[in-house]
Amino acid sequence: MPTTTTPTPAPTTAAAPARRRDPRAAVWVPAALVVLVASVVGSVMVGAADLGAADVGRTLVTHLGLGGLLGVEPLPALQDATIWELRMPRVLTAAAVGAGLAVCGVVMQALTRNPLADPYLLGLSSGASFGAVLVLGAGVALLLPLAAFVGALAALAAALLLARAMGVMTPTRIVLAGLAVSQLAAAATSFVVFWSAQGDAYRDILSWLMGSVARSTWTSVAIAGVAVLVVGGLLASTGSVLDAFTFGDTAAAGLGLDVQRTRWVLLVGVALLTGALVSVSGAIGFVGLTLPHAVRMLTGARHRLLLPLAGLFGASFLVWADTIARTVFAPRELPVGIVTAAIGAPVFAVLLWRGKAV
Amino acid sequence: MRDRTTDGTSRVAAPGSTPGLEVARVRWSVAGRLIVDDVDCTAPPGAFTGLLGPNGSGKSSLLRLVAGITVPDAGTAAFAGTDLASVRRRERARRVAFVEQEAAAETPLRVLDAVLLGRIPHRSLLAGDTDADRHLAREALARVGMAEFADRSLATLSGGERQRVHVARALAQEPSLLLLDEPTNHLDVAAQLATMTLARKLAADGVTVLAALHDLNLAAAACDHVVMLDAGRVVAAGSVKEVLVPAVIEQVYGVRCDVLEHPATGRPVLAFS
């Protein structure tokens, strides 16, 4: 007889803990994580210089200081720099930005109960763009992330103050206030571009306005990564709170939520995260709008699974979108925002057409 | 009129029993307009109380004030002897459930998921549904006669079925006090009667039910106790036979009516002329 030292599984589910995980989560979340890791490694391999997964692994091991320990020789300097200084920061920034935008999109759509809501709803992207073109036009590109972040927060503050001034902060008022601030900031941006931009500055500005991760550095990874892990992680844990808003503010209040305070806190969280993302990548469109709808078709409307899955798939999506942006017309590059719009808009149209998304 | 109010209510609550809902001097105004004007009323425990009155008489506002969704300018709403304003929001949501008029979701939602929302006040906001939650949600669906609809999409249901799902969501909160805002609105007559039967059944199970109602005859047929509001004030309160009399109806609605007796139930039937 075989000696079974391994504990046999509990005979019935009666002994299982009451707080059992959603069985779908046990499948989808690991699957989405695997897809993301594969996407990151795969995307680093793709490009003008021919690199394999082994090369990516060697570079990682080397830079993590494990080369001696594992007996791995570093790659030649050029290949190593291609992976470590060019592609890794770019791919990781894309992943962080994609994850953050998708999570913010879910939160905004739930909070405003508006299927057209996205992270830029409160004028964040327009405000960031205005901040960015001010410094780009002035030729001080170093200050760009800071200027964009400040611009985003200023737009948020203006939108929220305007929404407050209209009375109680209802979803409709938030949307309207965001629209007003957006339009004003967009007009100011156009004015600056029209007035001052010439030659290369013009292309820089346009590339930034469309959204691009081409200039990502490890600093970009740090900014976007920390923002996503901290703020994005917190937002992704608000599934039950967002669920409570399913039938609107009154229902949420009836379920024991402080509706105004909750909305305020979540909007500020979305603004901080989106501001940080926009500061490194510009305003990449359609990730925050389309990804939530697409993932919702997998998970249903409940948010506990939707939030993390949207984040993970958003990350993979933007990694591949950026891979397309830098390879399709190589050596010329597109701003990744063009690719996300080219994919996102038709997908959104299909979701609408199938009548399931909204 | 105020005297009659107190008389009517004190007669219904049995002496010595735990008090039900007691609304005392609740006053609420919005944009300078007084909507709820010094309202005193009660809903006896384990009974079905109808909140009646014309459009704009403050029925919905009063329900929202009792539910704690809006905060009164003055006055208190107490249930089972506890001032509901002194209870934390989540705790209150475990005692009081509110079904508003025509709550709609913007995203496609499964019926069981809609009902599971009612479990939110009972668990940490970080926790997901447990098997116990799912069991309670299915039980709530069964209580409203919708057990077999659990896996349907909410959007495919009729108005009456959706209304029942919302009641099931409220029941999943395991409330002692259930507030219904015009639960029969836009329903056909069968669905209206079914909703009233359900409210009576819940009251018989020990839930105190307070429902804003439009249709006086429905209220006459189903309610144990009624409160008549007009322009934010309580005009009359008491049993159906005490309140639904020609004088009150004419004063509040400005219409004449005769009160007949239902041949089968003996309850009042209003015939308007």
pLDDT digits (tens, 9 = 90+) for B82-137: 999 999 999 999 999 999 987 788 778 899 999 999 999 998 888 888 899 999 99
Q: Which residues of A touch B166 (CB under 8 A)?
A: 247
pLDDT tens across A186-201, in order? 999 888 888 876 777 7
A238 at interface of B, judged by CB pairs closer than 8 A: yes
Q: Is B3 on the interface with A (CB under 8 A)?
A: no
- Asked if A354 has any chain B CB less than 8 Å from its own CB, the reply is no
Q: pLDDT (tens digit, 9 = 90+) per residue, B239-253?
A: 999 999 999 999 999
Closest to A287 measured CA to CA, from A145, A112, A158, A125: A125
Give B-chain residues touching A105 at CB under 8 angstroms: none
pLDDT tens digit sequence for B145-203: 899 999 999 989 988 899 999 999 999 999 999 999 999 988 889 989 999 999 999 99
Q: Residue length, chain A?
A: 358
Minimal Cα–Cα distance from B163 to chain A, Å? 13
Q: What is the pLDDT of residues A48-82, one digit of tens each?
A: 777 888 888 888 888 887 777 777 788 888 888 88
Any idea which residue has 């029969």 for tokens? B184
- A304 closest CB neighbour out of B94, B105, B128: B128
* Chain B stretch 215-234, residues whose beta carbon is closer than 8 A to a beta carbon of chain A: none
pLDDT confidence tier of residue A320, bands split at 50, 70 and 90: very high
ipTM score of complex: 0.87
Q: Is residue B228 very low, low, confident or very high in pLDDT (cuts 50, 70, 90)? A: very high
How do the domains of chain A map onto residue ranges?
A: 52-81, 92-354
What does the block give as tokens for A122?
């409160």
Helix (H, G, I), strand (E, B), or coil: what is residue B54? Answer: coil
What would the two tokens of residue A177 be?
Answer: 């206030």
Q: Do A254 and B107 touch (CB under 8 A)?
A: no
| Contact: A254, B113; criterion CB under 8 Å | no
Can you give the pLDDT at residue A54? 84
DSSP state of B214: S
Return the closest-CA partner of residue B72 out of B61, B82, B81.
B61
pLDDT at A121 over 90: no
pLDDT by residue (tens digit) across A151-164? 988 998 998 888 88
Q: What is the 3-state secondary structure (H, E, C) of chain A?
A: CCCCCCCCCCCCHHHCCCCCCCHHHHHHHHHHHHHHHHHHHHHHHCCCCCCCHHHHHHHHHHHCCCHHHHCCCCCCHHHHHHHHHHHHHHHHHHHHHHHHHHHHHHHHHHHHCCCCCCCCCCCHHHHHHHHHHHHHHCCCHHHHHHHHHHHHHHHHHHHHHHHHHCCCCCHHHHHHHHHHHHHHHHHHHHHHHHHHCCHHHHHHHHHHHHCCCCCCCHHHHHHHHHHHHHHHHHHHCCHHHHHHCCCCHHHHHHCCCCHHHHHHHHHHHHHHHHHHHHHHHCCCCCHHHHHHHHHHHHHCCCHHHHHHHHHHHHHHHHHHHHHHHHHCCCCCCCCHHHHHHHHHHHHHHHHHHHCCCC
Please report the pLDDT score of residue A12 as a whole number. 39
Is residue B90 classed exposed, middle or buried when 0-12, 13-18 and 19+ CB atoms within 10 A define those classes? middle
Phi and psi based region of residue B31 (left: phi greater than 0; alpha: psi -120 to 50; beta: remaining): left
Which residue in A25, A250, A301 is closest to B109 by CB distance? A301
Nearest chain A CA: its distance from B173 CA (Å): 8
The span from the CA of A103 to the CA of A72, in Å, is 38
Contacts of A16 in chain B (CB under 8 A): 131
Q: Look at A256 and B69 and tell me if their CB atoms are within 8 Å.
A: no
Closest among A325, A232, A344 to A287, alpha carbons compared: A344
**What domains are there in chain B, each with its CATH number?**
1-80+176-240 (3.40.50.300), 104-174 (no CATH)
Chain B (143-172) residues lying within 8 Å, Cβ to Cβ, of chain A: 166
Backbone angles phi, psi at B119, to 5 degrees: -85, -10
Nearest to A202 by CA among A139, A279, A266, A271: A139
Q: Are B106 and A244 an interchain contact pair (Cβ–Cβ within 8 Å)?
A: no
Q: pLDDT grade, residue A214 (50/70/90)?
A: confident
Is the CB of B126 less than 8 angstroms away from the CB of A240? yes
Contacts of A25 in chain B (CB under 8 A): 128
Contact between A118 and A108 under an 8 Å Cβ cutoff? The reply is yes
User: B258 — alpha (psi -120 to 50), left (phi > 0) or beta?
Assistant: beta
pLDDT at A14: 39
Closest in B89, B103, B129 to A256, CB measured: B89
More confident residue, A236 or A140: A236
Mean pLDDT computed over B34-55: 94
Report the gap between the CA of A92 and the closest CA in chain B (Å): 28
CB of B175 within 8 Å of a chain A CB? The answer is: no
Look at the alpha carbons of A151, A308, B136, B107 in this order and tell me if their dihedral is positive or negative: positive
- Which of the pair, B77 or A142, is modelled with greater confidence? B77
Q: What is the pLDDT of residue B270?
A: 93
pLDDT exceeds cutoff 90 at A209 = no
B99/chain A closest Cα distance in angstroms: 8
Domain A92-354: CATH superfamily is ABC transporter involved in vitamin B12 uptake, BtuC (1.10.3470.10)
Tell me whether residues B125 and A238 touch, CB distance under 8 A. yes
Scan for tokens 């990804």, then name that residue.
Answer: A291
Taking an 8 Å cut-off on Cβ atoms, the answer to whether A244 and B129 are in contact is: no
Could you give the 3-state DSSP secondary structure of residue B232?
coil
What pLDDT, on the 0 to 100 scale, is given for residue A39? 94
Of A21, A251, A358, the CB nearest to B100: A251
What residues of A are in contact with residue B173 (Cβ under 8 Å)? Answer: 255
Q: What is the residue whose two structure tokens read 């006086």?
A: B216
pLDDT in tens, B19-29: 899 999 999 99
d(CA B171, CA A52): 59
Q: Each residue of A142-153: b (16+ CB within 10 Å) or e?
A: eebbebbbbbbb
Task: Give chain B's length.
Answer: 273
Q: Which residues contact A53 (CB under 8 A, 6 or more apart)?
A: A41, A45
Set of chain B residues whose Cβ sits within 8 Å of the Cβ of A356: 108
What is the maximum span of chain A, computed from C-alpha positions, in angstroms?
86
Asked whether A41 and A53 are in contact (CB, 8 A), the reply is yes
pLDDT of residue A347: 87
Q: Residue A10 above 80 pLDDT?
A: no
What pLDDT was estimated at residue A201? 72
Q: How far apart are the first and last CA of chain B?
A: 25
Selected for mutation to probe chain A from B107, B112, B152, B171 (highest A CB count within 10 Å) is B107
Flag if B173 and A255 touch (Cβ within 8 Å).
yes
- What is the Cα–Cα distance from A146 to A140, expressed in whole angstroms? 11
Instruction: Establish if A303 touches chain B: CB-CB under 8 angstroms.
Output: no
Residue B30, token pair as written in the block = 């919005």
- Residue B10: is its pLDDT beyond 60? no
- Band of pLDDT at residue A306, cut at 50, 70 and 90: very high
Q: What pLDDT, on the 0 to 100 scale, is given for residue B12?
A: 42
The pLDDT of A252-270, averaged and rounded, is 92
Quote the pLDDT of residue A141.
Answer: 66
CA gap B195, B163 in Å, rounded: 8
In angstroms, what CA-CA distances link A173 with A41, A113, A170, B96, B236? Answer: 44, 12, 5, 29, 39
Locate A288 and state its tokens. 């925050």
Taking alpha carbons only, the member of B246, B202, B208 closest to residue B225 is B208
Distance, C-alpha A248 to centroid of its chain: 25
Sorting pLDDT into bands at 50, 70 and 90, what band is B39? very high
Which candidate in B106, B122, B154, B162 is best for mutational testing of the A interface (most A CBs within 10 A)?
Answer: B106
Average pLDDT, chain A: 85
